Amino acid sequence: MSEVAERGPGRLRRLVDRFDLRAMPYVLVSPYFLLFTVFGLFPLGFTLWVSMHKWRLAGEKEFVGLDNYGFLLTNGNFWNATYNTIGMFVMATLPQLALALLLANALNKRMRGRLLLRMGILLPMVTSVVAVAIVFSQLFSYRYGMINWGLESLGFDRIDWQADRLPSWLAISTMVDWRWTGYNAIIFLAAMQTIPRDLYEAAAIDGASPRRQFWQITIPQLRPVIIFVVFISTMGGLMLFAEPMMFGSGRYDGGAAGNFQTIGLYIVQAFRERNNYGLAAAAAWLLFMLILIIALINYLFTNRIRGNK
C-alpha cells in the first residue's frame, strides 16, 4: 500500500501519511474493543435486560421489572449463597495473603537455586481448578481421605468435611490457597525486588530490627501491589464455582444443606436446573454489584496502609 503511495502524487502521499498517523492507532486497538463489546459489554447489558424478565428458554418473555431482584433479596437460599461466598472468600484470602508475604520475604533472600524454588511454589498454578478440586476432594473424603486418616492417627476424630459449614469452607479454602498462594508470592516478590536497598540500609543504621524493617519499609512499599493482589483475589474468591461444585460431587446445590453453595453455583443452578434465566441473570448482576462493593471496601482499607509510614 505505501509503496504505491510513495510513487503517487504528493497529495495522495500526504493523505496516506495523515491516515497513518491519525487513524492507525485506532486500527491497532480496535480489535480488542470490538470483540470486548460483542462478548463482554453486550452480555453485561443483555444480562440486565434478561434479569428484568420472566425468561425461560422457550415461551413468552414477560417484563417483570425488578421482581427477580426482589425475589432474590428476600430469598433465604440466595442469602445463604452470599453468606457462603463471602465467608469462603475471607477464609481463603486472609491466610493466603499472609502466607504469600511470608513466602515472598523468604524467597527474596539471595540464595542458590532460587529459580527452582520459585518454579516449585508456582507449580500449583499450572494445575487446573478441576484437577485441584478432584485431588483435594479425595484427600478430604470422609472415609478414604488422607486428611481424616492423619487426624485419626494423631488421635483426633475424623471430620465429615462435606456435612458442616466450617469444615466444608475450610476444605474449599484450602484448594483455593493451594493453587494461588505461590502465584501471589511471586507477584509480591517482584515488587519487593524494586524496593531500593538504601531504605533498608538506612533503617539498619538507625537500629531497626528485620521485623521492624518488614513492617515499616516492605509493607508500605508494597501497597500498590497489595491492592492489586487483593483485587485479583476478590474477583477470584467471589466467583468461586468449580471447587465447591467438584467438592459436592458435581452438583450445584453445595451439599445437602447448601452449606457450601456459592453465588456462582446458585446462578448456574437457577439457569441450568430450574431453567429460570431471569433469576440467574439477576443473581449475576447482584454478584457483579457485590464484587464492585467489596473491591471498593478493599481499596479504602488497603489505602490506609499508607498511614503506617
CA distance 153 to 143: 14
Q: Find the part of the chain contacting other proteins (CB under 8 A) among 31-39, 64-72, 73-81, 212-220.
A: 31-39
CA distance 263 to 82: 6
Instruction: Say if CB 189 and CB 108 are below 8 A apart.
Output: yes
Instruction: Say if CB 184 and CB 96 are below 8 A apart.
Output: yes
One-character DSSP codes across 203-268: HHHTT--HHHHIIIIIHHHTHHHHHHHHHHHHHHHHT--HHHHHHTTT-SSSSTT-TT--HHHHHH
177-206 positions binding other proteins, by CB under 8 A: 178, 181-183, 185-187, 189-191, 193-194
Secondary structure letter of residue 262 according to DSSP: -
Q: Find the part of the chain contacting other proteins (CB under 8 A) among 14-22, 63-71, 253-261, 297-305.
A: 14-22
**Cα–chain-centroid distance for residue 19?**
41
Complex with other proteins: residue 197 or 307, whichever CB lies closer: 197
| H or E element that contains 62 | strand 62-63
Residue type, 108: N
Complex with other proteins: residue 34 or 202, whichever CB lies closer: 34
Instruction: Give the interface size with other proteins as a residue count (CB under 8 A).
Output: 103
Least distance from other proteins to the Cβ atom of residue 282, Å: 10
Q: In 3-state terms, what secondary structure has residue 1? A: coil
228-257 positions binding other proteins, by CB under 8 A: 228, 235, 238-239, 241-242, 246, 249-250
Residue 66: how many other CB atoms lie within 10 Å: 12
Residue type, 138: Q
Residue with cell 469452607: 169
Least distance from other proteins to the Cβ atom of residue 259, Å: 21
Complex with other proteins: residue 12 or 106, whichever CB lies closer: 106
Least distance from other proteins to the Cβ atom of residue 140, Å: 11
Least distance from other proteins to the Cβ atom of residue 162, Å: 14
Residue from 39, 206, 304, 307 that binds other proteins (CB under 8 A)? Answer: 39
Q: Is 172 in the site for other proteins (CB under 8 A)?
A: no
Least distance from other proteins to the Cβ atom of residue 221, Å: 12
Least distance from other proteins to the Cβ atom of residue 309, Å: 20
Complex with other proteins: residue 79 or 307, whichever CB lies closer: 79
Q: Which of 245, 270, 243 is nearest to 255 (CA)?
A: 245
Q: Is 101 in the site for other proteins (CB under 8 A)?
A: no
Q: Is 176 in the site for other proteins (CB under 8 A)?
A: no
Q: In 3-state terms, what secondary structure has residue 281? A: helix
